[in-house]
Amino acid sequence: MNNNLKEVASVFFKLGCFAFGGPAAHIAMMEDEVVTKRKWMTRDYFLDLIGTTNLIPGPNSTEMTMHCGYERAGKKGLFVAGIAFIFPAVIITALLAYLYVECGKLPEVEPFVFGIKPAVLAIIASAVLKLGKKAVKTIELTIIGLLVLTASLFGVNEVFALLSAGILGMLYFYFKNKVSASLNSFYPFLLSSTLGLTLSKISAINVFWVFLKVGAILYGSGYVLFAYLDAELVTRGWLTRVELIDAIAVGQFIPGPVLSTSTFIGYQLSGFPGALAATTGIFLPSFLFVLILNPFIPKMRKSKLLRYFLDAVNVAAVAVMLAVLLVMTKEIVLDWKGVVIALIGALLVFKTKVSPIWIIIIGSVLGFVLVRFL
């Protein structure tokens, strides 16, 4: 393994161990590692990756790791980055699934999670500010960003908002500048087929196909994942809704992508072979999407029309991150304990050079202390 691949593996394995807080927090931590610290790419190009990643199915933060790995170490880097990021969550989730099946309950981790959640707010805020400075290039893009922010806060689907922003920006800037550029054809690779499986028993191969379908068409948050899995698993009688809720909960409080929930469910359905099948099935489409999409991103920048589209999508993606930050703040900072941890996190982020990983650790310890002893 060459030095670049080793560096990719090291960075994303570390993030996989400490990336709590959902996609917005994961991307914020990633930006700190690959743009600020290591300068693998410019912040402008990192924004391009965020914008295009938001337009394809699959877990956004996991796909971002693959893009970053590709940029640093080519196709091998794509796979190394994705696997390194996913691996810690899969191992932790498999262990928890084993304990859940054997003991019938999950370990007590709520005090630590209580502290992590407000701590990540400052990390996301820092990334929104840094990326926003690059994305908001004109008054028109500012207006598009505000429109997307408003739409997101009112519950408009984020993919619809991003696509609408991209089309609006592309048309506006095209006619404003009266450009007669030819459009180099590019269509994001979208897969929306259904497999129509009729299963008679729960085998590892059947688990694989169900999770492959979910991974190929999944957009949105963990709540959307819950809806997909409810339709695929509960209605089939494979899981009870309580078991599914427990599985989703595991994905929320472990580091890394929430789609590691699939590992937990796969183990429930078919033991370790099922865990492996579910994990492979749900993440495999993301590797393929990124492998196909990544080479087109620099070409998009060369076309004036697609550059307008991408600029608008980028500012919309930052607006969506800001909307996530506002909603998370409203839901998480509910009492003085949450306020204290959030303020300490903000102080560390904006006044020191402490790594986001240490902020996560400090937040978890503060959460444990405040919940247990105060």
Structure tokens of 244?
């599914």
Q: Residue 337: inside a domain, yes or no?
A: yes
> pLDDT per residue over 130-180, tens digit each?
888 888 888 889 999 999 999 988 888 777 888 888 889 888 888 877 644
Distance CA 318, CA 157 (A): 15
> pLDDT per residue over 298-313, tens digit each?
887 778 788 888 888 8
Q: Residue 282: inside a domain, yes or no?
A: no
Ranked by mean pLDDT, which of 5-14, 44-53, 246-255 comes out on top? 5-14
> Whose CA is closest to 285, among 66, 26, 15, 69?
66
Q: Residue 113: inside a domain, yes or no?
A: yes
Q: Residue 140: inside a domain, yes or no?
A: yes
Tell me the pLDDT band of 106, cut-offs 50, 70 and 90. Answer: low
Of 105 and 351, which is predicted with more confidence? 351
Q: Residue 86: inside a domain, yes or no?
A: yes
> pLDDT per residue over 275-289, tens digit each?
999 999 999 988 998
Residues 344-373, mean pLDDT to the nearest whole number: 85
Instruction: Check pLDDT > 70 for residue 54.
Output: yes
Specify the pLDDT at position 253: 67
Range name among 87-91, 107-111, 118-122, 315-319 with the lowest pLDDT average: 107-111
Tell me the pLDDT band of 81, cut-offs 50, 70 and 90. Answer: very high
Of 374 and 262, which is predicted with more confidence? 262
Residues 13-29, mean pLDDT to the nearest whole number: 85
Specify the pLDDT at position 188: 35
Residue with tokens 């877990």: 59
The DSSP H or E segment spanning 307 is helix 304-332
Instruction: Check pLDDT > 60 for residue 183.
Output: no
Q: Chain-wide mean pLDDT for the chain?
A: 82
Residues 310-328, mean pLDDT to the nearest whole number: 84
Distance CA 32, CA 30 (A): 5
> pLDDT per residue over 62-79, tens digit each?
999 999 999 999 999 999
Percentage above 90 pLDDT, the chain: 22
Specify the pLDDT at position 66: 94
Of 310 and 21, which is predicted with more confidence? 310
> Whose CA is closest to 225, among 198, 254, 242, 249?
249
Tell me the pLDDT band of 198, cut-offs 50, 70 and 90. Answer: very low
Q: Tell me how many degrees the CA angle 227-15-351 measures, rounded to the nearest 5.
A: 110
Distance CA 252, CA 260 (A): 9
Question: For residue 18, what are the domain limits?
Answer: 3-185+292-373
Specify the pLDDT at position 107: 63
Contacts 24+ apart (CB under 8 A), 9-15: 9/80, 9/81, 9/84, 10/84, 11/38, 11/81, 11/84, 12/65, 12/68, 12/69, 12/80, 12/81, 12/82, 12/84, 12/85, 13/84, 13/85, 13/87, 13/88, 14/357, 15/65, 15/85, 15/256
Specify the pLDDT at position 279: 93
How far CA 5 is from CA of 15, 21, 283, 288, 349, in Å, comes to 15, 26, 20, 19, 29
Range name among 9-18, 207-216, 292-301 with the lowest pLDDT average: 292-301
Percentage above 70 pLDDT, the chain: 89
Specify the pLDDT at position 224: 61
Instruction: Check pLDDT > 80 for residue 80.
Output: yes
Number of domains in the chain: 1
Specify the pLDDT at position 77: 94
Q: Is 155 left (phi over 0), alpha (psi -120 to 50) or beta?
A: left
Say what angle helices 23-31 and 43-53 make with each other, to 10 degrees: 160
Residues 27-48, mean pLDDT to the nearest whole number: 90
Specify the pLDDT at position 22: 76
Annotate 125-141 with b (16+ C-beta within 10 A) or e (fewer).
Answer: bbbbebbbebbbeeebb
Structure tokens of 131?
């990326």
Q: Residue 269: inside a domain, yes or no?
A: no
Q: Residue 280: inside a domain, yes or no?
A: no
Q: Residue 52: inside a domain, yes or no?
A: yes
